[in-house]
Structures are given as C-alpha cells and as structure tokens.
Amino acid sequence: MSLRKRFEDESLALAKLLCQPRVGGRHVAFVIAYGLKSPLLAPHVEALKQRLGPAGYSLTTDGFDEEAELLLSHCDTEAGAVAAVLGWIEQEGEKDGAAVPPALQASRARRKAAEPAVTTLAPETPEAVLADLDKLVGLAPVKKQLREVLAVVLANAERKRAGLPEVSSSLHLVFSGSPGTGKTTIARIVARMYAACGALKGARFHEVHRGGLVAEYVGQTAPKTQAAIDAARPGVLFIDEAYSLVSESGNDYGREAVATLVKAMEDHRDSLAVIVAGYEEEMAEFINMNPGLRSRFKTFIEFPDYSPPELTHIFATFAGESQVQLASGVLERVENVIALAARSDDFGNARFARSLWERSFANMAVRAHSDGKIELREVTELLPTDIPDYTPPGTVEDQPRIGFGP
C-alpha cells in the first residue's frame, strides 16, 4: 500500500469515527504526525489531536476537502508528508494569531537550511511534453492521434490571436481499451500538453471513479460531482471506468452526476477538460446514452494491447529504475511467460508486467536469504530462475507464497 493510500484510509476512518461530514486537513495532519513518529512532528501530536474537536453528528463522511487533498498530494514520501504537515501547522498558527512554537521554529530553520536556492522554472513547452510522450513504450497509434489533437489546439490558438473563430475546439477525450494499456499515464501527459500549449491555464490532474462522483443519498451527488470538477480546474478531470456511472437499471444517482458533468463541460470549457476511459464497447454505450455526452466528446482514442516484446521492454524498465541487472536469459524467459499469459481473457498488460517484476524481485530476495543472510550482490542481479512460471487465474495452489502459513 502506498503512503498516500495509507493516510487516505486512516484519515477517512478517523473522520468517520468522529462522525464528521468531511475529511479535513486536521484529520490528515494528525494521522501523518501520529503515524510517522517523526521527531519533527512529535512535539505537535497532542496539539493536532486537540484540533480534531469534539465528535459531530454526521451519519456519513463524504470525501476530502481541499486542505486534505493538498496535504495528501505531498505524501509520495515520508519527507514530503512531514514538510507538508509542518507547513500546515505554521499556516494554522498564523490563522489563529498564535506565536510559532519553538519546536516549529527550529524545524523551520532546519528545512530552510536544507532547501536549495529557489529557481524559477520556465513553463513546459509542447515539444518537451511530446518528448516525454515519445519515451513511452509502444502506443504508436495513440501517440499519432495525440499529435493531431495538439496540432488542432495550436492551430486554434493561432486563429484566436488573429481574431478568427476556433474550429472543432473540444478538449474532451474518450479513451478506450483494456486495463493496463497506459490510459491514466497518457491522461496525465494530456493535462501537461494542454497547459503547455495554452489551451488550459493549468495542468491539474484529478482522477476519480464512480465513488468520487456518485453519492448514496438524494441531493448529495451534484455537490460531490461539482467538488471533483473544482478539484480538476484548471486542468483535466479523468474518470476511469466511466460507464459505471450509470447502472443498467438506471435507478441510482449516476445520471445526476452525468448531468452535472455535461453542464460543467460547457460552462468551464476554457478551464476544464474531461477524459473518460474504459472498455471499448461499454464506453460507446455510455457516450450514446446521453445527447450531451455525444455532442461534447468528439475525439475517441483506442489503446491497443501491448505486444509481448513491448511488455518485456517495460519489465526491463522497472528493473532499470530499481538498479537491478538482468542476467543472460532473463528477458527471453520474461517474454515467454508474458506471451503465455497474454492468451488469458483478463490479461493485465502493463499491470501484469509490473506484477511479474515484483514477484521476480521477491523470488530473488528469497533466494538471497536462503542461507540466512543477504549480500548486496545477491539482490542486484536477477537470474532466469527468479522469473516465476505463469499461473492461470484461479490456480491458487501454484502461486508463490510470501509470508507465514502452511
């Protein structure tokens, strides 16, 4: 579980325990300070606990407020989480008119001394974003179509400067394809691309599923959807498995979310791009179920499955990022395992490649520890024997086990 996911779950559980309607910055700050046991945060744990306040009366806890989301966005590393909480404490102290406590003054001085000189970074250029796009393995037809989208955006920008009307200027996109084919990664690049070429004034990226838009009770879905829209602006709102917004029975609140979304796509066309993603057939049915969706989504991009050689390349990339060398014969074995797995109906594409890499690393670690100790050289080179055989889904007994038990 990632650090961010851990703090999301713990702060949500805390807010529910206190019967409070939203997860706020105070909840996230407390679970980080309490959970990390950092010397920089230890002096503030009790004060943060007091900020949680008395229990409320809400029967449901509905999402995260802006402060909570901002704190969580810095939780990629423990150092980032600690710095974010210290900054939040400082900000809250200034709001209250309170003096900055000595412990915070000291930690602030240490952070200041460790920080590099502040430099102003130039905005990204479309060429720089496209260079990152080209680094991705495979996806040739996707890359080609995105270049066409960029060309249209740049052409319209030039026409706008000349006082001419824009042509086919919708920034909203439909991504279709199997799981693990890079849809989320490409959506993030699209957000950067739109900002780089001036189509949007920011490169925010907010990813949601059905649960991030649709509420359980009457009157809650529209505000919840609007909150997700506001979190994305200016930038991209990415809705994965968007077809799940509307159930087959049509007796839930998903249609209210769609209606709110359609209105926002028109009202905020200069600050919001919506990208919806999912399986090809389901996405076609989803777009066709609402005339507003059909009129606003004009660009459909299909993501092909990766080939075994491409997924082998991705596996090698994971190893390279972890500074693990691949012994002779590893890549051939990896490609054979992937080719066998690719015949399965629920093949995960890049997700399978990542899972295969993680299981292979685990096997290497077990091999290295077989004599009771691990030497560095044993965990920096992967051998062909570390690559597990492909196990069809459902044959649990053949899968490698990590942990305790029979």
Looking at the fold, whether 135 and 269 belong to one and the same domain comes out as yes
Domain count, the chain: 3
Looking at the fold, whether 50 and 146 belong to one and the same domain comes out as no
Distances (CA, A) of 125 to 24, 121, 128, 135, 253: 35, 12, 5, 16, 41
Residue-level pLDDT at 393: 66
Looking at the fold, whether 266 and 130 belong to one and the same domain comes out as yes
Contact 22, 60 (CB under 8 A): no
Would you say residue 363 has pLDDT above 80?
yes
Residue-level pLDDT at 99: 45
Specify if 74 maps to a domain: yes
| pLDDT tens digits, 13-47 | 888 888 888 888 899 999 998 888 887 888 888 88
Would you say residue 318 has pLDDT above 80?
yes
Once rounded to an integer, what is the mean pLDDT over residues 165-174? 83
Looking at the fold, whether 133 and 251 belong to one and the same domain comes out as yes
Residue-level pLDDT at 310: 92
Would you say residue 107 has pLDDT above 50?
no
How remote is the C-alpha of 241 from its chain's centroid?
Answer: 14
Would you say residue 126 has pLDDT above 60?
yes
Specify if 119 maps to a domain: no
Domain range for 62 is 3-114
Contact 195, 235 (CB under 8 A): yes
| pLDDT tens digits, 73-86 | 888 788 778 878 88
Looking at the fold, whether 228 and 287 belong to one and the same domain comes out as yes
Specify if 31 maps to a domain: yes
Looking at the fold, whether 361 and 226 belong to one and the same domain comes out as no
| pLDDT tens digits, 196-215 | 888 888 888 888 888 888 87
Contact 135, 261 (CB under 8 A): no
**What are the DSSP calls for 219-250, one per residue?**
TSHHHHHHHHHHHH-SEEEEEETGGGGS-SS-
| pLDDT tens digits, 82-99 | 878 887 887 766 454 444
